[in-house]
Chains A and B, each alone.
Chain A
Amino acid sequence: MIPRILTLSLAVAGGLSAQVTWDRLLHPEREPQNWLTYSGSTFSQRYSLLDQITRDNAKNLELQWVYQARSLEKFESTPLVVDGIMYVTDPPNNVVALDAKTGAVFWTYDYHPSADARVCCGAVNRGLAILGDTLFMGTIDAHLVAIDARAGHPIWNIQIGDPKLGYSITHAPLVVKDKVIVGVAGAEYGIRGFIGAYDAATGKEVWRFNTIPGPGEPGHETWAGDSSQHGGGSAWITGSYDPTLNLVYWGVGNPGADWNADNRQGDNLYSDCAIALDADTGKLKWYFQFTPHDEFDYDAVQVPVLVDGNWKGSPRKMMMWANRNGFFYVLDRTNGKFLYGAPFTKQTWAVGLDESGRPIRAPGSSPTPEGTLIYPGVQGGTNWYSPSYSPRTGLLYIPSWQDYYMNLAKMPAEFAAGQRYTGGAPRSPTPTLQRGLINTWTAENGSGAIIAMDPNTGQQKWQFKMTDVTSSGILTTASDVIFTGGREGFFYALDGRNGTMLWKAALGGQVAMGPVTYRIDGRQYVAVAAGHALFTFALRP
């Protein structure tokens, strides 16, 4: 018989049952065997210190196991890996706990969203957050649910928006200290967006920041008449956090109506902004608007990548942002000051940026009833797909759409509760997300490319080109290997230094999530979802 106290000490030594404390979430560099947050760290670099898979041996990667989703929805979830257990969502809102070594299932939690849920762009979910022994998930019917990570049972469940009005949650929450921070989607239904912080123990709301300011709030004057009431401003991708500044950073989505701005003259704050909020109070510290008075649906819904490094020779706390509007930006994240910006893909809606970073609109670029040709197209130069920053190469890796356009026709926009409120039709070559057996994409429609960007110069060090576009996130590792995929169904290992393809696997379905890496019993694994399944690779022992 093993005395109980000894059993416990063995467990701690093995790291098997330790709770995921806030301190652990703050220091992922101490435990690179895990993947504890959506973006790998609060700085959202999606950079792993693991280095067993190298530029030399990546060609030997082999499939270890596959998890087949029960859903035929798009698989956009980034898994979490905690001490050998993988937690991943099966779209839209079922949760699965797996043995990350074998793929065997420990438990499943089935969540049945309300039939009232309405989502513009797929009944999807992008992942979970964890704190202590509790997982947190936002649902497509705008609930935030806390789930026991050991048993898969719900602990609390709160509704934070009315699904009948189009409120939903599709992204992974962000845990900061003892709070769970999450925003709402639904701008295509004329919601008024917000980001909220909820007590991790109870679900009680601690603070709320309205992404579209109401009467009396600063920024309300940037909306003509009462247009702010249905001003959109979704927050549908996970933010970042800087513990030194105690600031939470989040990207805000498009204003409503998307493509008809007649009724909302003004800059329409804080749509299409990067915002910095005090983590304890939710008070706005600064904002930077990428696309004032947006008429193109250019959500600033990208993951803010935080980098401490040299900017033009001086140490600086930076934020790097490849935006849906086709421009790449570097901001000072202490105050939101614009440091650099330039297009990373073909764009025709602006002639450039002024010295404050504000775009100078191109004449004749507004949507018209007859249609206006605009680059980039409605899905943008990039979108919500996670970029990655490697402190080793000093490069930001961006999933991009190149030479991609839309013919944007403006239409009347009338608000009706719970109905689509977009005011236009972007006729675009964008394919349906479910591929057929034959890929009929042509280069005239645009193409996908992984860009390796030197943020100090704006120079693109290299591009890895794909015939079709990509919705895949990117992972970089300490061995300068980067992992990514695309809509063609390939999963790639690339040389982070020069973009050379080291290895590929044809997975037969599009990659539309961010790959992750972890280690168990001395072996490094890489997990990626493609189509409706999750695949895990490793080197042969």
Chain B
Amino acid sequence: MGKRGSTDVKLFGALILLALGIPLVAQQRYLPSDVENGSRLYRNNCFACHGPEGNSIPGVDFRRGQFKRASTDDDLLRVIASGVPGTAMPPAAINDSARLALVAYLRSMHEAATGPGDAAKGRTLFEAKGGCLACHRVNGKGSRLGPDLSEEGTIRTAEYLKRKILAPAESIMPEHRFVRVLTREGKVVTGLRLNEDTHTVQLIDQDERLRSFSKSDLREFTLLTTTTMPAYGDKLSPAELADLVSYLLTLKGLDSQ
């Protein structure tokens, strides 16, 4: 089985190995604790008018980074402190660190929606250097064995995507697990588990064929709990990671084609 295991690595992992040795230095403009505090302040002070998505005021959309009277962080700090005369926006009676936290949260709303990097560079990284299509599929291109990422931008946040790229083994959803079966005839088949019940298992194998097995016909049946996706923490620069996340956030299914 050891030999078989090394074959699996070749089949599923060899193409996606990246150049090594690029140190990952987390680049944080805002402290996570600021974002967390800002989130609480937003709920208590801003939510009622700006809404949960930050887009309830016409012309203002925090997730899109769209403001009427501000572009820099300093602008935002000033508007929060002074309010907007003649509108329903009052001055906020909060201290400087609270205002900073609010700005951190507003910026994080934008980053959560668009990512912090360059989506075009991220696409190149995804399709070329990253070799991501060796396992993943986007809009009809790439392997069917890993998760299809065509709609990733509609269902994931930047933070989630970043975690998955840096530490994919942290959690593997049931629908993304692989199985290895050894048939009565001695054939080993490994593939993505599509469905399973007490008596049968269905998978898509390495040649992307849909296969169904009766468990009573199998000598061995193993649910693989490890992921074939490497952790990219030491393979991507912070800028590359940001670019990749931004690209993934642009994937909105067929509408984004």
Contact = CB atoms under 8 A, between A and B. Distances in A.
A binds B: yes
B144 A157 contact: no
B97 interface: no
B144 A151 contact: yes
B204 interface: yes
B210 A97 contact: yes
Contacts of A8: 207
B212 A102 contact: yes
A17 B207 contact: yes
A79 B202 CA distance: 19
Interface in B168-216: 187-188, 194-195, 197, 200, 202, 204, 206-212, 214
B195 A151 contact: no
Q: Which of B204, B206, B210, B257 has the most CB of A within 10 A?
A: B210
A338 interface: no
B144 A99 contact: no
B195 A104 contact: yes
Given A104-B195, A155-B140, A85 B3 contact: no
Nearest to A99: B212
A154 interface: yes
A105 interface: yes
A16 B140 CA distance: 21
A2 B202 contact: no
A178 to B, nearest CB: 17
Instruction: Determine chain B's interface SS by DSSP, over half rule.
Output: mixed
Contacts of B204: 106, 150-151
Contacts of A148: 140, 144
Nearest to B197: A104
Interface string A125-164: 0000000000000000000000010110111110000000
A311 interface: no
Contacts of B200: 99, 102, 104
Contacts of A16: 209, 211
A529 B142 CA distance: 36
A17 B209 contact: yes
Given A99-B200, A99-B202, A107-B194, A2 B207 contact: no
Contact of B150 (A7, A105, A107, A153): A153
B7 interface: yes
A224 interface: no
B187 A105 contact: no
B195 A106 contact: yes
Contact of A154 (B144, B207, B254): B254
A104 B148 CA distance: 22
B208 A17 contact: yes
A99 to B, nearest CB: 4
Interface in B122-142: 137, 139-140
Contacts of B210: 85, 97, 99, 106, 150
Contacts of A106: 194-195, 202, 204, 210, 212
B197 A11 contact: no
Contact of A102 (B7, B144, B187, B214): B214
Contacts of B195: 104-107
Nearest to B209: A17
Contacts of B197: 104
A105 B194 CA distance: 8
A220 interface: no
Contacts of A2: 187-188
A217 B116 CA distance: 57
Interface in A1-58: 1-2, 4, 7-8, 11, 16-17
Q: Which of B11, B137, B200, B209 has the most CB of A within 10 A?
A: B209
B110 to A, nearest CB: 29
Contacts of A420: none
B69 interface: no
A475 B188 CA distance: 39
A230 B115 CA distance: 49
Nearest to B11: A4
Contact of A156 (B11, B202, B209, B254): B254
A188 to B, nearest CB: 30
Interface in B216-257: 253-254, 257
Which range holds the interface residue count of chain B?
20 to 34
Given A151-B144, A151-B148, A7 B207 contact: yes
B212 A104 contact: yes
A101 B137 CA distance: 29
B7 A11 contact: no
B156 interface: no
B254 A157 contact: yes
Contacts of A7: 206-207
Nearest to A133: B208
Nearest to B204: A150
Contact of B202 (A4, A104, A154): A104
Given A7-B207, A150-B144, A154-B254, A101 B187 contact: no
B201 to A, nearest CB: 8
Contacts of B207: 7-8, 11, 17
A155 B137 CA distance: 11
Nearest to A10: B187
Contacts of B257: 156
A1 B140 contact: no
Nearest to B140: A155
B254 A1 contact: no
A424 B257 CA distance: 46
B188 A153 contact: no
Contacts of B3: 1
B206 A101 contact: no
A104 B202 CA distance: 7
A53 B244 CA distance: 57
Contacts of B254: 154, 156-157
B43 interface: no
A97 B210 CA distance: 9
A151 B139 CA distance: 12
A1 B4 contact: yes
B95 to A, nearest CB: 48
Contacts of A11: 207, 209
B82 to A, nearest CB: 44
Interface in A98-133: 99, 101-102, 104-107
Contact of B7 (A1, A17, A150, A154): A1
Interface of B: 3-4, 7, 11, 137, 139-140, 144, 148, 150, 187-188, 194-195, 197, 200, 202, 204, 206-212, 214, 253-254, 257
28 contacts: A1-B3, A2-B188, A7-B206, A11-B209, A16-B209, A17-B207, A84-B212, A85-B210, A99-B200, A99-B202, A102-B214, A105-B194, A105-B202, A106-B194, A106-B195, A106-B202, A106-B204, A106-B210, A107-B194, A107-B195, A148-B140, A150-B208, A150-B209, A151-B137, A154-B253, A154-B254, A156-B257, A157-B254
10 interchain residue pairs of minimum CB distance: A99-B212, A17-B209, A151-B144, A155-B140, A106-B210, A104-B200, A106-B202, A106-B194, A157-B254, A16-B209
Given A107-B194, A148-B144, 6 more contacts: A2-B188, A11-B209, A101-B212, A105-B194, A150-B209, A151-B144
